[in-house]
Amino acid sequence: MRVQLGRQLLDRQLVDADGLLLGKVDDVAFALDEQGVPYVAYLLTGQGALGQRIGGRVGRLLVTLADRLTEETPGPLRIPIGQVARIDSAVRLRVRADELPRPPVEAWLRRHLIDRIPGADRASG
């Protein structure tokens, strides 16, 4: 698959097989094949990855926040490039959101704030 990294991959929306939004492609991780040629092996998503890419004081702040809010510090979510089904205006994955670890901030806010408000489990449409 031939894509322009900066223009078509980085900062694109990640969408799961059902159309749910999973985050952005905040960074990528390379690996080397047998000939030593680098290729994109993983897409990284999460505030930690974004913070490291932005760098500077603001970037460090994002990384610190991400570390604070994750309990077991698994780092950013790494999605193998083989899971990508298609790249158009978004990066569409073959997997479904519930097969992946839930983003820690989302899980925390759901448990401690949103689920406590009546009507949280009904879509208003």
Partner 1 sequence: MKLLAATLGVLSAIGGFVDIGDLVAASQAGARFGMGHAWVLVLGVVGICAYAEMAGRIAAVSGRAVFDLVRERLGPRVALLNLAASYLVTVLTLAAELGGVALALQLASRVSYLLWVPVAAFAVWLVLWRMRFQLMERVFGLAGLTLLVFALALFWLPTDWAALGHGALHPGTAGQGWGAYWFVAVALFASTVSPYEVFFFSSGGVEENWSAADLADARSSVLIGFPVGGLLALSLVATATVVFHPGGVSLSTLDQVARPVVLAFGGVGLAVAALAFFAVTFGAALETGLSAAYAAAQYFGWQWGKRVSPREAARFHSVLLVSVLAATLLLSTTVDPVRLTEYMLVASAVVLPLTYLPILVVANDRTYLGDDVNGPWLNLLGAVFLLVIVAASVAALPLAVGTGMGR
Q: Which is nearer to partner 1, 36 or 125 (CB)?
A: 125
Q: Are 66 and 46 in contact (CB under 8 A)?
A: yes
Q: Which residues bind partner 1 (CB under 8 A)?
A: 8, 11-14, 20-24, 26, 45, 47, 50, 53-54, 58, 88-90, 103, 105-107, 109-110, 113-115, 117, 119-125
- Taking alpha carbons only, the member of 23, 29, 42, 11 closest to residue 104 is 23
Q: Which is nearer to partner 1, 23 or 28 (CB)?
A: 23
Q: Which is nearer to partner 1, 8 or 81 (CB)?
A: 8
- Taking alpha carbons only, the member of 6, 27, 9 closest to residue 90 is 9
Token reading at 26: 């905040």
> How many residues would you count in the chain?
125
CB of 98 to partner 1, least distance (A): 11
CB of 82 to partner 1, least distance (A): 21
CB of 30 to partner 1, least distance (A): 19
Token reading at 83: 């899971």
